[in-house]
Chains A and B, each alone.
Chain A
Amino acid sequence: MATHDDRNFRSTYYEKVGCRSVEEKKSLDILLKEKPLDKVKLKQFCLRFSVPSAYRNIVWKLLLDVLPIYVDCHTFIMQQRKEEYSDLYRTLQILRVVDPMIHRPQSFYAMWLLQTGQLHFNTNVMKEHSFVHLVQSFMQFFDDDADIFWLTSFFYNHIQKNKSEYGKLAECTWGFLEREDVALYKHLLKIRGNGELPLEKWFDSCFAGVLNENALGKIWDKICGGSYKIMSFLVVNLFMNQKHRLLKCIDTKAVIECLKNIPEETAELIATKSIDMWQQNGSPLTIYDKPKI
């Protein structure tokens, strides 16, 4: 907020009243009119606010390096991306890896494999992969296949940078849960949840397929902004939200089952709650960030 110079008293007023979106949209417009675009400011914006869905496409593209910060070359680059996508897709058709019967996520997955040179003739495209989950989620956000493919692939690359930290992130999450809700933590310990729950898998797919797309959008805004620690807060809030049901679960399967069926509203509630909590704890980006008090 402090970064926006031309904000007047009205903006603060709006903020106080609670209609953030108006002000956010305005500020985002201003940000996007800059030449060249300031990536750092955009990141800050994402961390602070949830990006409106209309801008989500361009913002995420910019942040995930699908598009450069220079607006002039956007059309060309997108042309190239689309061509590349179509090439990849045609190749796969030729190779008969992809047929009309196959699902698009799988086809995207195959394309990604092809692009990264991992596609071999004996590669099973149908096997479950976090990329597929991501594609499925992105498909709910956007319509254009090229966009979906490129965003997914860059997003995946973005996530993969922090993969080495997931173990620590999980530990941190459990510690945080213990601090917030001892009873629940003990219960989960009892059912050995800390060992058996697929936290790393969730982290890997950024909860794609676990939560509803609206909730995911908010969370992913933060992830795009550079913070993956948000996910630990998300986990804790998820547990706490489903506390009553979780306490009834006897083993981890039941827990996973239970968590899979979360209604849309609840998911959104969890997302906002966890964002609030994350912001209260000082908006840490990584696990090394100490909460600023």
Chain B
Amino acid sequence: MAEILQQLESHNRPIADETKQKIHEIISQNKDPWLVNGLYDYYLSTYSVRALEILINVREPHHIHLFDKLLESIRCSKTETKIQALTLLGYMVDKQPTWLYKITQHALFKEVLKLLKQECEIVPLLSALLALVVLLPCIPASMKPFLQEVFEIFSRLAAWNCNTPQKLLEDQMVHMQVSLFALFHRLYGMYPCNFLTYLRDHYRHKDRIPIFNHTIKPMLQRVQMHPLLVTTTKDSETTTERWMKHTPNDVVMECERFSVDTKDRSLQETCLMTTNVNFRSRSGTANSSIIETSQQFLKSTSLNTNISDTNFFSPSQILSCQTPPVTETTTGFMLSHIQGTGQSIIQSQEGTSPPEAAIEATPETTPIKVGEDYNNKPRPHALAPTSPLRIIPPGNSSNENSVPNSPLPIQRIDSPVSQEDEEVLAIVSQSELRHPGLRQCDSVIQDSDRAAEEDIAEEHGSPCTSGGLHQPNIKQMNNFRQNMNRLRHHSQCGSDGEPFDLQMSGSSSTDSNSLPVSTITVRRANSCPEMKKGLVSYNKEFLNEKTMLEECDDDEDQEQERFNGSEYVRKELSCAETQTENFWPMPYEHLFLSVFPNHDNTEPKVTPAQSPAPNTVFNPSTIYDIIEKYTEVGVQINEKDPIKSLKDQVQLLSQQLLFERHRRETHAIKNRTLFTEVTVNRVSDEKISALSDQVKMQGEYIETLRNDLNICKKEKIAIEKEAKDDIRRMEENYKDLQNNFETFKDKNHYLQLELEAEKNKLSDKDKKWQIAMSEIFDAHAEVAVAKEQVIKLDKCRFELEKVNKELLLAGELILKYEERLGELDVLRRCEEEQIHLTETYNHEIAALQQQLESKNLIIEAHRSRISELEQAMCHHGEAEAMYKKTFNDLREEFHEKIKSVESKYRSQLSVNQALEEKIFDLYQQVESTCRRGVHSPDTSSCHEVNATMTDRTGTAPGLSPHSSPLSASLTSSEGSMAFVHSEMKNLQVIMDQRDTVTIVRSSTIESDISQEAHSSTTTSPSIVTSNKND
């Protein structure tokens, strides 16, 4: 760790950077607080700037440790550590890390406020105060709960001398005043309503009125009326919405806007001017005259800016402690005219001009204020502010002279005037050169405000003067103003003739400036190490801050750069401002350094520290001188406790410096934004100019149109003339025609009269004609009547003839009818005969009808008879059928019966046959038995033959051949057998008979047969007999 720290402090810059990087890495990787704490301790012990830098750049989670550490050391009773902590805080606030807003949540912030309320030591108090002032715009929204405390702090500080027994030194007082004023500005700018109500409440008491008169009032006089006092209330002022869109820079700028310094306005004006000019030139349209003027303007402005860059910024700072950048520009502007003049001088003369220019630059700023003062009050001092050029009082007047100069050149850039100015300036510069310490003059000149305030304060607060609580403040303020001016002179022009000349020559002689610059560089190189020896911490800071200077060994280069820059600026105006900004940091530091010794030595010198210093040209050499002077003065004044006071001074200055630097940076940022706006404006201007060109074109077009219109008008007039002629001619014609018309009218009249006469005649004739016509009509009527009568006559004659004929015919008819009457008698007889005949016929018809009826009846009877017979026939038929059927049935039945009988008979036959066989068999047996005794068996055959013989003779021829021998044998052998034989015969007969017997008798036969069957063999003979009988 020790090694790292050693490396950190090494002179080799890259190594130091590396170690820084390393430590940062370690911190970011490690969340433990030990490293931060260690670094903090290290810082406390060594005042190491690099450690401080690291601490400021620490990342998010470590800030709490840092805050804790700070809180710890602020609470510590040791003033040294307190101051150190506050310094660190100051740097931190200046750096504005992202976590800065969290400070309000930490006890540290409250502790700081507490410290501000209680601390009596000036150095820590002021450090804290400045830190607070810087911090305010960063945390506008979260300030609400602390506002009252801040106000109390303000009132406490305002009433410092009343409250604290320990009286401040004069230089300390200046610090106090400046810081207080800064605080006042912030509070008024940010929370006007709250602040004013507080002030109203707080300074209502009678015993506080002096404080108000002496301290507050002058401050109030230096600010404009805040518009928010009208539009907002106490509460809405502190809301977060209001601050939402505001960056700290915006807030600062807004606060600055309410200062009454005219520089602001002038700045704006210049800006406008320059931009306008530029655009016109760019547009390059027909407005040639404007262009020319603008070009002139351009040149002048460019020069001015250059000069301002290089030399002339310090004065502005001197003028307005609050707004360094603004002043810069203003001065630049003011100078531009002078520079313009300077240029002309350069053309005519040789090297004498530059110092003049430089001198001019310084005063210029002051005059504005003077002007303001004049507006406010005519001063007794007023060393011919109105007579700027000609009345040239030495030293004091020079500034004032310059003031009026500046306005003039702005309007008209005339070389003669500039020459006059030159002279004046030259004189002033000389005077300054002669009296390097002409502070009084300066103060007199510049005091304008403060002096006035002082006066006012004295006037109002007469009772307070004895207390001197505030008076000193005001006085100091005035002094402080004066000092500032003085310092400015020193810084800008160089307190010594040599450097100043050198510088001026370098700056003025833009083309050739190498040599003098080199000398300057050498000196500076020398100065730096010395500085370091004397003030290590400051040197370091210094070095860090202005990297440009340190890096470049030679001033030559820087100078050249500057000049190049200036040239560049001339060419391109737009870039000028930015460049100036680039250069700013360095001069700031220089000035700061330079101021520092001055401040130490003499009370009034404190202020220059605030002026952040465009004074790049400012030389260490001058600082050196200042330090010497300061030691002298310091020895004279501070004999009591020189070392302590010195230390305090140093610290105060450092704090102040820090504060001022911060302010400057914020302004720089604001400027950048403004510049962008300017460019935008330019673009819009270009557009406007383009539009104007268009307008012009349109105008031309309108012109041509107008010409056309004229031509048209002429043509129209010609045409009208022609028309008039025509009209005239027409009128003449018309008159002629009218005359003709009249004559014709007369003629017409006559003719009409004639016509009427004719008409009358005609009517008379008409009447006559009508009468004639009526007569004719009557005649016609008569003719018609006559004709009709004739026709009627003819008709009558014709009818008469007709009637005569009819008469003749009727006579004949009568004759004929008479003949017929004679024949009527004959007809009567015939009728009678006819009647008789009809009667007879009727009778005949009736008779015939009767006959017919009778016949009909007979026929009916016959018919019924026939039907009856037919029915009978049917019955008979049916009966017949019945009979037939029954007959058939019967026949069948009998047939069946016969069949059965036949079968019986056949069986009988077969029985017989069997019996015969048996018998035959038996016979054989008998014969055999006999023959055994008598006969031989051969005889049987003889018998058989006999039998056959008998058979043939028998009456039964129908017997079967079989039976014949049997029967024969039977008849021959036995009686019984013979009987049977006869029976058989009978049967045969019966059978034969039966064939012949009629059907009717069949029944009897049947009965016979049945009888036979019954009787069988016993009755057989009787049957046979009966059969024979039949």
Contact = CB atoms under 8 A, between A and B. Distances in A.
Q: Is the interface of B mostly helix, strand, loop or mixed?
A: helix
B399 to A, nearest CB: 160
A84 B904 contact: yes
Contact of A70 (B892, B913, B1013): B892
Given A68-B893, A72-B893, A73-B897, A87 B904 contact: yes
A53 interface: no
- Considering residues B896, B906, B913, B1013, which has the most beta carbons from chain A within 10 angstroms of its beta carbon? B896
A115 B907 contact: yes
Contacts of A81: 900, 904
A261 interface: no
B459 interface: no
Contact of B917 (A73, A83, A115, A121): A121
Which of the four size classes fits the interface of chain A?
20 to 34
Given A76-B897, A80-B900, A95 B918 contact: yes
A247 interface: no
B907 A94 contact: no
B911 interface: yes
A84 B914 contact: no
Given A80-B903, A94-B918, A116-B910, 19 more contacts: A68-B892, A68-B893, A70-B893, A70-B896, A76-B900, A77-B896, A80-B897, A83-B904, A84-B903, A84-B904, A87-B908, A87-B911, A91-B914, A94-B915, A95-B914, A114-B910, A115-B907, A119-B910, A121-B918
Interface in A61-101: 68-70, 72-73, 76-77, 80-81, 83-84, 87-88, 91, 94-95
B286 interface: no
B914 A73 contact: no
A120 interface: yes
A18 interface: no
Nearest to B903: A84
A195 to B, nearest CB: 39
A115 B902 CA distance: 12
Interface in A10-52: 36
B889 interface: yes
Nearest to B911: A91
Contact of A91 (B889, B893, B915, B921): B915
A263 interface: no
Contacts of B892: 36, 68-70
Interface string A124-152: 00000000000000000000000000000
Interface in B909-949: 910-911, 913-915, 917-918, 921
B866 interface: no
A188 B914 CA distance: 47
B901 interface: yes
Interface of B: 889, 892-894, 896-897, 900-901, 903-904, 906-908, 910-911, 913-915, 917-918, 921, 1013
Contacts of B913: 117
A243 to B, nearest CB: 46
Contacts of A76: 897, 900
Contacts of A117: 910, 913
Contact of B897 (A77, A83, A119): A77
Contact of A80 (B893, B901, B910, B921): B901
B1015 to A, nearest CB: 13
7 contacts: A84-B900, A84-B907, A87-B907, A87-B908, A88-B911, A95-B918, A121-B918
- Considering residues B892, B901, B910, B911, which has the most beta carbons from chain A within 10 angstroms of its beta carbon? B911
Nearest to B902: A80
Contacts of B906: 115
Given A91-B911, A114-B910, A121-B917, A36 B889 contact: yes
B889 to A, nearest CB: 6
Contacts of A88: 907, 911
Contacts, number: 65
A278 to B, nearest CB: 33
Interface of A: 36, 68-70, 72-73, 76-77, 80-81, 83-84, 87-88, 91, 94-95, 114-117, 119-121
* 7 cross-chain pairs, A with B, having the tightest CB-CB distances, nearest first: A68-B896, A91-B911, A84-B904, A80-B900, A73-B893, A117-B910, A70-B893
Contacts of B893: 68, 70, 72-73
- Considering residues A80, A87, A95, A114, which has the most beta carbons from chain B within 10 angstroms of its beta carbon? A80
B651 to A, nearest CB: 146
Contact of A73 (B896, B910, B911, B918): B896
Contact of A114 (B897, B907, B921): B907
A138 B784 CA distance: 154
B960 to A, nearest CB: 11
Contact of B914 (A69, A80, A83, A114): A114
B977 to A, nearest CB: 14
Nearest to A35: B889
B984 to A, nearest CB: 15
B281 to A, nearest CB: 137
A94 B919 CA distance: 11
Given A36-B889, A77-B896, A84-B903, A121 B915 contact: no
A172 B908 CA distance: 43
A115 B903 CA distance: 9
Contacts of B918: 94-95, 121
Nearest to A88: B907
A96 to B, nearest CB: 8
Contacts of B907: 84, 87-88, 114-115
A95 B910 CA distance: 13
A83 B903 contact: no
A62 to B, nearest CB: 12
A267 B646 CA distance: 167
A94 to B, nearest CB: 7
Nearest to B912: A91
B1013 A83 contact: yes
Nearest to B1016: A87
Nearest to A36: B889
Contacts of A91: 911, 914-915
Contacts of A73: 893-894, 896-897
A98 to B, nearest CB: 12
Contacts of A72: 889, 893
B11 to A, nearest CB: 139
Contacts of B900: 76-77, 80-81, 84
Nearest to A94: B915
A73 B893 CA distance: 6
B917 A120 contact: yes
A119 B918 CA distance: 11
Contacts of B896: 68, 70, 73, 77
Nearest to B915: A91
A106 B908 CA distance: 20
Contacts of A87: 904, 907-908, 911
A68 B918 CA distance: 35
Contact of A119 (B889, B914, B1013): B914
B983 to A, nearest CB: 14
A22 B893 CA distance: 32
A28 B1005 CA distance: 37
Nearest to B905: A84
- Considering residues A77, A116, A121, which has the most beta carbons from chain B within 10 angstroms of its beta carbon? A77
A212 B745 CA distance: 174
B562 to A, nearest CB: 144
Contacts of B910: 114-117, 119
A120 B913 CA distance: 9
A73 B908 CA distance: 21
A120 to B, nearest CB: 7
Contacts of A84: 900, 903-904, 907-908
A74 to B, nearest CB: 9
Contacts of B914: 91, 95, 114, 119
Contacts of B894: 73
Given A36-B889, A77-B896, A114 B911 contact: yes
Contacts of B903: 80, 84
